[in-house]
Amino acid sequence: MPINFREKEKEFHLYNDSLSYVICVLPNGHIGNLYYGKRLSENMSYAYLLENKYRPLTAYVYEDDDCFSLQHTRQEYASYGSGDMILPAFEISHEDGSHLSHFVFYDYAISKGKPQLSGLPNTYVESDEEATSLELYLKDHNSETELCLTYTIYESRAVITRNAKFTQRGEKELCLKRALSLCLDLPDKDYEWLHLDGAWGRERYLQSSLLHQGSQSIYSLKGASSAEHNPFIALKRPDANEHEGEVMGFSLVYSGNFLAQVDVTPFHQTRVSMGIHPLGFEWYLKSGESFQTPEVVMVYSHLGLNGMSQIYHDLFSQRLARGEWRDRERPILLNNWEAMTFNFNENSILSLAEVAAKLGVELFVMDDGWFGQRNNEKAGLGDWRVNQKKLPNGLLGISQRIHQLGMLFGLWIEPEMVNKDSDLYREHPDWILHHPKHSQSQGRHQYTLDLSREEVYQNIYQQLHDLLANHGIDYIKWDMNRYMTEAYSYHATKEHQGAIFHRYILNLYRLYETLTSEFPHILFESCSSGGARFDPGMLYYAPQTWTSDDTDAYERLKIQYGTSLVYPLITMGNHVSEVPNQQLLRTTPLSTRANVAYFGSFGYEIDLMLLEEEELELIKKEIDFYKNYRRVFQFGNFTRLINPFETDDAAWQVISEDGHHVFVGLYLGLLKLNGPSYHRLHLKGLEAEASYRLNNQVYLGSALMNAGLVINEKDFTEGYKDFASAIYHLEKM
């Protein structure tokens, strides 16, 4: 069992080949952290790592032990009020007005496998042999509240997951004001912290800085995980890079408000905290009720950032994503949004579809504009019935024609939203998140439905069920185009108000869970004004996400590079779009747009009717090429090679599951006159002794990795120019 318990020292050691995580019961009964890092021997105690030092004048020590202070002790789920002065993992408001809690360890359980969280997305195992789990039970004797801290260590992945659960066993009601998923104390501060930040159209840009004393945090208060900050951070040793050195990743499996915070104490210890954002959060627990926090997935790598990413990629594609589509190759799609926006009818849709089918497109997606009075952004959301004026033969008519053309049929929905100009709003004006005495903020002329209310949930569920059951739909793009404001639930009790954001997310997950179970053949792609809800919570239900509304190939390099820090290629929806690009007016070669988009779930978002014959020919070739190798591009082992945040260029590679095919993508920014020439690109992860063929030349793996592949101007698909790109295909002999 990769979890050892040493009875005498009350010490738990979670280990596998890559890592060790050692925790213990502290002298006051709380749980402390002794070690997290590279694998240690499981045959000894690490109790010597517990700080036991007299610090006169500077510490708040226990009355009966001058050397024991929470202020200096690394804890696993820290509480505030008894000496620890850093922001805690939780806060409970008790009936007597006290905010003090004292959770003391009383029991534990070790079991094979991984318990699943009820109502929340989480990673899983397919056999109990894949992981071992530890549950630590603590009790606050004052309030009789129970706290269960759950850890799972995977046997052959450098992954530990954590979550916490509160259960009120006493008679009195209490209010949870903060209940994070993770608190981890580390013994020094010599890290850079990395996070993925941005905004609409430039999601998941890589940011990093050295830690400093005090707090540094990222968060979302938007009701969605957001484009501005992804629910992920990493701590990296300053000497670690993409391929070597120690990196720890922390990813929250959640799609709503979150906080990820790193505190460095005056004594240069580091606390990592992660979970639901506590601002405005209140969750009342009556006797017998529980609150379950979302899961945090911790990854440990001593092979740098790529090492960390590959562990996340494997885990998220194989043990987070689920369902029929998890392991299936994803169809090449054509989405009509950039070509038509709201302006289409049955004839124009079918004309576009006919050309798409001829080129080899496999899935035709009809985006926004097919329902209610949806002729612009101002109307229709909420009325999920076909617009007969635009589509006189209904959705079924369209889907049958698309199927006859040999393609799958996909549809866009945005079920969490409503326009005031809609039948749904006219019938139920009180169903939106709003306060009756407060002004309302609109975003894109739309309002957020109060999904925390059961009747709202039921209405949306029924509309979606009817849509999916009766119209020959094979794919759904589930959008969400505004963040939440005025988050007040009309009619609900005072106690309900602090829980709205989380209840909304729980019901969103419930909706996804119900629909994906009822319609397992449908491929779901999540979307939120592009990539504003690209998070592990969504991937549990929808195994791919629209990466960004920014489809400019040059900008996409950064977006896809940053996204790849955590998320596997198969989860990224990447489309070739028209030039000049609709968002940036930049013109990049058609080949570059495809060479960038290949690395993920590939598709087009372009008006094929406006293209020259030559361009259509090129697109047909691209489609044929991708079909031949899509398994590699979607499921291969991905490595970042040149960082577009550090240079104007970018490069990455993917190796097929069987190691036989290697594709390298190389992308240039602006050409440099008389710039550095004769570049060598150092490939990674090849077999040193194996031979690889590239364009009739044979190279040894060791040469390609150590001496490098020499880049030549003639390698670029459409010539050597601004935004040129090349794809190298190496085959192992």
Residues that bind ligand DGJ (CB under 6 A): 337, 367-368, 412, 479, 481, 527, 529-530, 546, 549
Angstrom distance (rounded) from CA 557 to CA 597: 9
Exposed e or buried b per residue across 341-356, where buried means at least 16 C-beta atoms within 10 angstroms of its C-beta: ebebeeebbbebbbbb
Other C-beta atoms closer than 10 Å to the C-beta of 669 total 15
Angstrom distance (rounded) from CA 53 to CA 279: 36
Burial of 614 (0-12, 13-18, 19+ CB in 10 A): exposed
Shorter beta-carbon distance to ligand DGJ: residue 34 or 527: 527
Shorter beta-carbon distance to ligand DGJ: residue 121 or 380: 380
Angstrom distance (rounded) from CA 257 to CA 235: 22
Shorter beta-carbon distance to ligand DGJ: residue 451 or 532: 532
For 577, residues 6+ apart whose C-beta sits below 8 A from its C-beta are 338, 551, 552, 593, 604, 605, 606
**Where do we find the tokens 């053949």?**
521
Q: How far is the CB of 443 from ligand DGJ (least distance, A)?
A: 12
Q: How far is the CB of 338 from ligand DGJ (least distance, A)?
A: 8
Q: How far is the CB of 457 from ligand DGJ (least distance, A)?
A: 23
Catalytic residue ranges: 479, 549
Shorter beta-carbon distance to ligand DGJ: residue 384 or 546: 546
Question: Is the separation of the CB atoms in 395 and 449 below 8 Å?
Answer: no
Rg of the chain, C-alpha, whole Å: 27
For 389, residues 6+ apart whose C-beta sits below 8 A from its C-beta are none
Q: How is 289-311 classified by DSSP, letter by letter?
A: -EEEPPEEEEEEESBHHHHHHHH
Question: Is the separation of the CB atoms in 523 and 305 below 8 Å?
Answer: no
Angstrom distance (rounded) from CA 291 to CA 342: 43
Residue 237 DSSP symbol = -
Angstrom distance (rounded) from CA 515 to CA 521: 11
Q: How far is the CB of 204 from ligand DGJ (least distance, A)?
A: 15
Q: How far is the CB of 601 from ligand DGJ (least distance, A)?
A: 14
Q: Which residues belong to the annotated binding site?
A: 200, 367-368, 444, 477-481, 527, 549
Shorter beta-carbon distance to ligand DGJ: residue 15 or 384: 384
Angstrom distance (rounded) from CA 718 to CA 696: 20
Burial of 494 (0-12, 13-18, 19+ CB in 10 A): exposed
Quickly list H helices, 206-303. Answer: none
Quickly list H helices, 606-722. Answer: 613-635, 701-702
And the tokens for 659?
Answer: 């190691």
Q: How far is the CB of 719 from ligand DGJ (least distance, A)?
A: 31
Amino acid letter, 465: H
Angstrom distance (rounded) from CA 575 to CA 598: 9
Q: Distance between terminal CA atoms of the chain?
A: 41
Q: Which residues belong to the annotated binding site for substrate?
A: 200, 367-368, 444, 477-481, 527, 549
Shorter beta-carbon distance to ligand DGJ: residue 364 or 412: 412
Burial of 491 (0-12, 13-18, 19+ CB in 10 A): exposed
Beta bridge partners of 386: 371
Shorter beta-carbon distance to ligand DGJ: residue 367 or 578: 367
Shorter beta-carbon distance to ligand DGJ: residue 168 or 551: 551
And the tokens for 86?
Answer: 């850093």
Nearest residue to ligand DGJ, by Cβ distance, number only: 368
Q: How far is the CB of 527 from ligand DGJ (least distance, A)?
A: 5
And the tokens for 120?
Answer: 């929340």
Burial of 658 (0-12, 13-18, 19+ CB in 10 A): exposed
Residue 7 DSSP symbol = T
Angstrom distance (rounded) from CA 371 to CA 353: 19
Shorter beta-carbon distance to ligand DGJ: residue 246 or 368: 368
Angstrom distance (rounded) from CA 528 to CA 546: 8
Quickly list H helices, 241-328. Answer: 304-319
The beta strand positions in 211-325, using DSSP E, are 214-220, 229-236, 247-253, 258-264, 270-276, 283-285, 290-292, 295-301
Shorter beta-carbon distance to ligand DGJ: residue 114 or 575: 575
